[in-house]
Structures are given as C-alpha cells and as structure tokens.
C-alpha cells in the first residue's frame, strides 16, 4: 500500500473576474472557454510539466448545464490541448467547487495514486444564475428539512445578523469598504496582476482584452454604503455593497506530489496540511466555515493562533465577521484578507476556492515568518470548507 505523499500546490492562475449580465465583459464568452483559458495559462507558466503526465483534471461548476455542462474537467482538458490520455471530471459543491476540486485531487496525490493534477472551477453567473433550472425535491420543504428561503443566500446572511446582534450593519459596511480599499492598493502595488490570464472578449464595439477584475469600486465610502437598498428584507442589513457581486470567471491550479516536484524541478508555493468540510443549518449557511475550520485545525493538530495568514471568502461581509468573532480575531486584523476579497473582486461561485489559494500562495512568498495559512469559505445549503496550508518559504523566525 502506498504511503501518504506530500501534496503540493505548485501554481495557480485565474481569469480576470467579470460582472455577470449583459453589461459584463464576458457576456459573449462561453463558460467552458474561460476554464480552457485558465488551464492553458497554467500550463504555459509551467513548461517543465509534461502534459501527458497529468493524472486527472477536476473542474467545478455549480450550475452544470449548457456551456457549463458535459463533464467540464474532460472537455476543458481536451480543448486546452492536453492529450486525450488525460482524464477529467466535473465537481459541484456550490461555492466550494474549486476548493473541493483541490481537496479531492489532493487526497488522490496523498494516497499515492496521482503525481500531477489540475484542479479549478468556473462560473458564468450571467449565463447560469445560481439555481436556475433546478428542481428541488418538494420534501425539502414539506418535511421541513430546510426553510423555503434557505435557498436565498442573502436571506441566510440576514439571519446571521439576527442571531448575532453584535455583528452590526456598520461593521459589515466598514469591512466591505476596507475590502475595496485593500484590493485597490493590491492592484496599485502589482500584487494581483501576475496571476491573471488575459482573456480575449467580444462586444458590440469589437474585440478587446479582459485584463483586470471588473467589479472593483475603490471609491466606496461608509456614507455611500449606508444609503444602499436592503433587497432581502425591508430595513435589513445586507446590501449590494457589503456582499460579493454576481460574477463570471475561472480558476486553475497545478497540484503535485513531493516526488513529482523533485522529478520535474518544480517550485512549491504551498503544502497542504489538512482540510475539512462541515454542515450547518442551511438557513444560516454563512457560519459554515466556523466548524469546518475547527475540524481542519483539529486534524492538523494546530490552533487558530498558529494561523499567520487568512484568506476568507467574502460572499457577505457578515459571514467573515461571524468567523472572526468566533475565534476572537479583530475586524481589522492585518492577517486577514491582506489584499481584499470577493466583495471587490467578485465571487464566481465554483471558481473562488482557488482564487483564495492563489492569493495565499503569493502572500506566503512575501511572509517567510508565517508558517501556516488558512483558506475558508461558506457554502450554499449549509456547509463550510477549510484548507490549512504550510509555507515552504518559512524561515522559523516569527
């Protein structure tokens, strides 16, 4: 029986994220082409990796239909020019699709069955709104397994505010404003751009090139956020300003075993330490990362104090704040989302998990004093996902 192998995050890239809908930059771009572009960009950055040695390709999508259907991992691999001998499959865990692609293939590497694998995700929310065409089993509601509004993510976010009154709208708005500011600062410092793969786009005015995220609003102010409508509830607290915008985009990552890293002379960016998924009440799905993070820490033999960098998906500001409060972490803690997050960048559901990893990997290189980092996110229908990573650049000096 094979011994457990090291699971290494070698590299990750993504397309710029575009606003969903007719005015978004990817309105005339196919979802699968976004995934293909990410895979091509990933392989071009890693010319030492023989294409025929990729053992599997997992590409996630939440709404698997139309140009987001047909076993994306296989079709995208073929379209990206990988040999026909390379297999592939599709994954759906809603918002944690790409994260699950990574943990699933990472587990295969850890078990000694894969040497190299590509894991990622895509979501074209303009073409495929979440839940569109789905037919939930009527027993979900009839047997009170879930409340009818549990399928509305904005309503579930309002419920976290209800449950934890100390998580105020003002705190959520301030966190959202800071996210916009941090993303703008990261762009100005050239932190985000190195891992973006430009995408050719077509509009009524002709062809162009998508080179940056489209949802950024760096001029956001607390005054402006205070005036926004609360679409999920009259006099509510969740707005378009303190939530992630509907977004299109794709991500792809290259995972390898420790042996493959040596064989092909690769440079590890992170090592997977542990991962965990957990379920919570669907009506308050945003607190999902709390139990999944506790579980991942327990499996790793670590505590929250061991985590030096956090990349938390900002589906809603309130969701991140609930995790920070649970673990006693300040809203402005500099370890958390150093370069901002999904409120400014966007959250193309099944693609986002790898975006978190890309940003954590880049920060690891800048912070050799940090040994461990966490990527975590809430997941629709009441789940959370967390992955703990080790910094290969760690120098032992905290």
Catalytic sites, residue numbers = 95, 347, 378
Rg of the chain (C-alpha set) = 20
**Phi and psi at residue 251, to the nearest 5°:** -135, 155
Tell me if 206 sits within 8 A of 368, measured CB to CB: no
**Phi and psi at residue 374, to the nearest 5°:** -125, 135
> Which residues make Cβ contacts (< 8 Å) with residue 135, sequence separation at least 6?
none
Rounded-to-integer distance, Cα 234 and Cα 184, Å: 32
Pairing of strands 270-279, 7-14: antiparallel
Tell me if 313 sits within 8 A of 356, measured CB to CB: yes
Tell me if 98 sits within 8 A of 351, measured CB to CB: yes
Rounded-to-integer distance, Cα 239 and Cα 353, Å: 23
List, in sequence order, every residue forming a beta bridge with 73; answer none if it has no partner.
Answer: none
Structure tokens at 372: 């461990």
Nearest to 18 by CA among 253, 347, 242: 347
């Amino acid at each position: 029986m094979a011994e457990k192998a090291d699971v290494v995050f070698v590299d990750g890239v993504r397309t710029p994220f575009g606003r969903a809908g007719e005015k978004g930059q990817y309105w005339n771009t196919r979802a699968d082409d976004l995934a293909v572009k990410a895979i091509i960009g990933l392989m071009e950055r890693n010319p030492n990796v023989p294409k025929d040695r990729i053992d599997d390709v997992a590409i996630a999508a939440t709404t698997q239909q139309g140009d987001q259907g047909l076993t994306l991992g296989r079709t995208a691999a073929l379209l990206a020019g990988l040999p026909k001998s390379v297999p592939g499959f599709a994954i759906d865990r809603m918002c944690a699709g790409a994260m699950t692609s990574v943990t699933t293939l990472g587990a295969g590497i850890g078990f000694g069955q894969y040497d190299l694998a590509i894991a990622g995700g895509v979501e074209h929310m303009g073409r495929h709104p979440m839940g569109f065409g789905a037919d939930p089993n009527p027993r979900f509601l009839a047997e009170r397994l879930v409340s009818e509004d549990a399928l509305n993510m904005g309503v579930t976010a309002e419920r976290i505010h209800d449950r934890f009154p100390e998580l105020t709208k003002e705190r959520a708005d301030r966190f959202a404003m800071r996210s916009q500011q941090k993303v703008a600062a990261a762009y100005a410092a050239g932190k985000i751009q190195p891992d973006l793969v430009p995408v050719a786009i077509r509009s009524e005015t002709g062809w162009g090139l998508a080179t940056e995220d489209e949802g950024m609003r760096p001029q956001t102010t607390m005054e402006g956020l205070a005036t926004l409508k609360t679409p999920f509830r009259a006099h509510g607290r969740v707005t378009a300003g303190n939530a992630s915008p509907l977004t299109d985009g794709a991500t792809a990552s290259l995972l390898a075993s420790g042996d493959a890293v040596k064989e092909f002379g690769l440079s590890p960016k992170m090592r997977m330490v542990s991962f965990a998924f957990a379920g919570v009440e669907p009506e308050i799905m945003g607190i999902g990362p709390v139990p999944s993070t506790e579980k991942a820490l327990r499996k790793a033999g670590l505590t929250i104090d061991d985590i030096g960098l956090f990349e938390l998906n900002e589906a809603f500001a309130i969701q991140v704040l609930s995790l920070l409060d649970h673990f006693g972490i300040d809203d402005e803690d500099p370890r958390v989302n150093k370069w901002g997050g999904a409120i400014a960048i966007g959250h193309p559901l099944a693609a986002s998990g790898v975006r978190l990893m890309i940003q954590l990997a880049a920060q690891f290189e800048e912070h050799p004093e940090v040994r461990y980092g966490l990527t975590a996110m809430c997941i629709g229908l009441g789940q959370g996902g967390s992955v703990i990573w080790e910094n290969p650049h760690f120098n032992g000096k905290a």
